[in-house]
Structure formats: C-alpha cells, structure tokens
Structure 1
C-alpha cells in the first residue's frame, strides 16, 4: 500500500515539475502575434483558393501584415471591396483590380468528340490524362470529367449537358483554382464582358486540328488580319483574343465572320447580335454576287 502511495506521489511530483518547465518555456520563447493578422484574416473570403500566391488565407494575412512589399489587393476573390479593407487595416495603397472570370477554351461537346479509346476508370481529369494523355482525340481539349467543378471553392462551375463545364459568372471570383487544377490547361482567366473569345486550346496545325475537331482553331490568321485593333495574336497555331483590348475598343467584331471554323464565338448579347447581322450581310452579298454572275452569263448568251 505504502509503495503504491509513493509511486503516485512521485509521478505527481514529476508531472508538476515538467508542467512548470513547460509553462516557463512557453512564456520565455513565446512569439508575439500581431493582432492585425487575425483582423485581416477575418476580412478575407476564406476560399483557401491560393490565388494570392500563398497557402491559404491565414498565410496571406500574415504576409500582408508583416511584409511591406506584399500588396493588399492579392485576394482575387475578394475583389476591390476586400482589397480596400486590407489596405486600410495595413496602411497600404490598393491598386485597381481588373475583374476576371473563368473561360473554358473548348467548344467541342464530349458526345461529339472523336475518341482515341474508351476510358474506364476513375472519373477524374488528372487520372484520365495519365493514360495516354486522356481518351479525347484532341489532346488539348476538355475531357469532361468535372475535376474543375469539383474543386471550385465557390461552386461557380457545373457540368453541362454537352459534357463541358459551365461558368456561373455571378459566382465566379476569378480565383484561378480551376485553371491550375486542369491538366489540359483548358481554363483561362478573362476580363468580364469581353465580347468574343477563341474557344479552342489546340496547338496542332490546321489539318491535324480539324481532323479531330470541327470547331478547332486552325491558326489561319484570318481573324488577326481582320482585327483593326491588334487584339488578336496567333502563336503555336492558335489564335488568342486580348479580352481587355477587345472590351475597350471593339463594337463590331468582324473576326466572327472571318473565322472559317467558328472557333471564335460571341460571348455578350451585343456580340451575338453583331454576329447575326454580319452573317446576314455576308449571305446577302453572296446572293447578290451569284445573281449578278447569273445575269451576266444570261446576257452573254
């Protein structure tokens, strides 16, 4: 009995000693935390998307408070309102942020797409891409397994009936997480309100691209030549529209009519109306030309 009591007393004494040592160490080596870090973190949207370049909202809050060179406007999902709040808390100046939205650079429905093989396995784009680059004939196109939608922290992406992702512009914050997770780099960030875009990601030459996709960009450059604002570039057999230039200057996207495959599509209602007007004008011009040719041929006889 006495032995048991002694054991309990000794163990209690050892516990008290170690407790005192730990308490002293905690006080002696404690790191003082800047209270502004917690205040900034509370302001952030908590999406943990990493668009700021840091591993989550807490890491960015700490960096923007403690490091003078870290800008207060790096939280893309928070947009201007959060940037202004962070700037006020940290005493920094917030630069203007251009609103942006996710854009799917593929317009070839999964049901219509040519396949290299029938894929049976985990329905995940990253997993599927490890098997010969994925089942889709176009090695640059969306595979439609929805990894982007599953990983969107703001539920801004859903999978459409055609098997391609649909972006809800009201929910999309432009954080870019979907762009980073897509193994085919099909998703890009574009300015909100850009009238047109090349919805293609293929880098193949014209004939090869057209062989696996009827709406592929063939890199012909017709759109670039027709654009009066130099908003279109062609690199690696793929045309790209500078959405910012297009948004600011263009009110008559004639590139829509010049594209032979329909890889350039109208994104806004105004652009869609302009596209219809252009197509009607082109059809009318062709009909008039055909009528004139027929008349001239008749007069020759």
Structure 2
C-alpha cells in the first residue's frame, strides 16, 4: 500500500519540478510598462486600432509597431500619458467625430417604392438600393447605430441617422458599416460641411431630394484662390485639410446642402447654426 503511494508522490514531485523548469525556460518576459499602459488605455476593446483589444494594442505600443495616436478612442490627455510612459513625444492632433453626410429625411427625400425586407441597411441596399428615389442617401435602418459600442448614433424622427459628438470616439465602425458610404470622420473644429452624397446631375439630384447638392459650383467659385470646397462628379466636397471658416459661404448654396454644423459637446448633438 505504501509503495504505490510513494510512486505516485514521486511522479507528482518529478512532474512539478519539470513544470517549474519549463516555466522558467519558456517564460515570456512582460515589459513592466505594459500594465501601466493597459491602465491608461480607454479599455473599450473596440478593435478600431486594428488589434483584437487594448492588451494587444499595448503590446504593439511597447514594440514600437504603433504610436499613442493610433488609438482612435483615446483623447489627447490619454495620448500624452502613453507618451510619458513610453518616453516618446506626442504631438497635438485634431479630434475627429463621425458625420452623416446626408440630411435627406422623410420630409425632403422623395420615395419611389416601399421596402418590406429585413430591417438592415445592407439588405435594403441590395434590393434596389432602398425605397428612396435618391440611391445615395441614408436608408435609416440603423446599421451604423447597431455597431456603435458607445451609443453615439441615434435615429431621428426624420428617418436618418444622427451622431452625438460627445459620445463619439471616431472609432470608425460606423464608417465601415454604412453601405452607402455616407459617414466620414471629420475634425471637430470644422464648421462647414456638404451634407450630401448624390453625384447625379443637378436636375436628377433635385428631383430625388430637396436638399441635394446640384454641383452648381457656386460654393467653389466663392473662393478667389485656393478653393476649400471643390466640385467633382456633380458633388461638392469640403477639403478638410483646410476647411472653410467663413460661414457666409453657405448662403450661396441654393438647396441648403452646404450647411454649418457645430460640434457642441454640451448639447450632445450635431447642432445646426
């Protein structure tokens, strides 16, 4: 009786010693800064940085594969903290926010049919592009809202999506989810925007939506030199590298597609002027 017990004890002892030796031999050293970086990160685990979660991102930070600014969810204070931990300089970067490039709600966008399928923008887009006459506009079935982990998108009574800037982290999930490619990440200090995605010629665009861009170039021509709004394929686009600052330019737009949006974080909405 004692012999089997002794044998089992010896096997357990040898196995334990073997595991202890293996643990030392194959141990992976963890940089002591990683825990500090993990504590400093937002902890959203949203994957917007391209990694599975914040832990993987922190490891890549230490390895020098990414920089503090590559976490789109972090604010400037967090990036500065990460820079201090890593001993690297972090420059100022403009905060961005998601913006829905469409204001074609129920009262202004005309319909050409009725969609009775699955309540999904992606599905509706596959079936004739949705029920609106404008094939470029917001479908209003909330795919962008569904993927937002921060509750930063709501659906309005007009049947289109709206971003709540104070909650938006510019992670980009909504950008990828929109089948109409209507959502862009823009600097929060930009005030003037073209909220239209329609590249049809003027008459067709106006027939589809009362607030569509006509590609008339009046906004572009309002700049004597160095235009900050450029028309391409009958659609005006703001150059967000040097966005216009004179709000008077919106007055030349005949439809209201060119408009002012102030990202007021206290009001928690994209607020028209």
TM-score (norm 1): 0.76
5+ unaligned residues in a row in structure 2: which ranges? Answer: 264-270
5+ unaligned residues in a row in structure 1: which ranges? Answer: 274-301
Q: 2: CA distance between counterparts of 1:58 and 1:25? A: 25
Q: 2: CA distance between counterparts of 1:167 and 1:18? A: 58
Which residue among 143, 149, 166 is the counterpart of 2:139? 143
The superposition leaves residues 191-229 of structure 1 with CA deviations (integer Å, 9 ceiling, x where unpaired) of 213222110011222233222222111212111001345
What's 2:258 paired with? Answer: 264
Tell me which of the two structures has the higher relative contact order, counting C-alpha pairs closer than 8 angstroms and 6 or more residues apart.
2
What's 1:96 paired with? Answer: 92
What's 1:235 paired with? Answer: 232
* SS, match of residue 159 in structure 2: coil
What's 1:71 paired with? Answer: 67
The superposition leaves residues 256-277 of structure 1 with CA deviations (integer Å, 9 ceiling, x where unpaired) of 22212221112249x977xxxx
Q: 2: CA distance between counterparts of 1:9 and 1:220? A: 93
Assess if the C-alpha contact under 8 Å between 2:108 and 2:211 holds in 1. no
Report the structure, 1 or 2, having the larger helix content. Answer: 1
Kindly indicate whether residue 30 of structure 2 is the aligned counterpart of residue 33 of structure 1. Answer: yes
Which residue among 184, 199, 204 is the counterpart of 1:208? 204
Which residue among 31, 55, 60 is the counterpart of 1:58? 55
Q: 1: CA distance between counterparts of 2:48 and 2:248? A: 32
The CA deviation at 1:135 is: 3.2
The CA deviation at 1:60 is: 1.5
Assess if the C-alpha contact under 8 Å between 2:108 and 2:210 holds in 1. no
TM-score (norm 2): 0.83
What's 2:221 paired with? Answer: 225
Task: Report which of the two structures shows the higher radius of gyration computed on alpha carbons.
Answer: 1
Residues 127/13 of structure 1: CA separation in 2 closer, same or farther (3 Å cut): farther
Q: 2: CA distance between counterparts of 1:220 and 1:169? A: 31
What's 1:253 paired with? Answer: 248
Assess if the C-alpha contact under 8 Å between 2:37 and 2:85 holds in 1. yes
The CA deviation at 1:130 is: 2.8
The CA deviation at 1:47 is: 2.1
What's 2:192 paired with? Answer: 196
Aligned residues: 264
Deviates more, 1:24-33 or 1:197-206: 24-33
The CA deviation at 1:20 is: 6.1
Q: CA RMSD in A?
A: 3.0
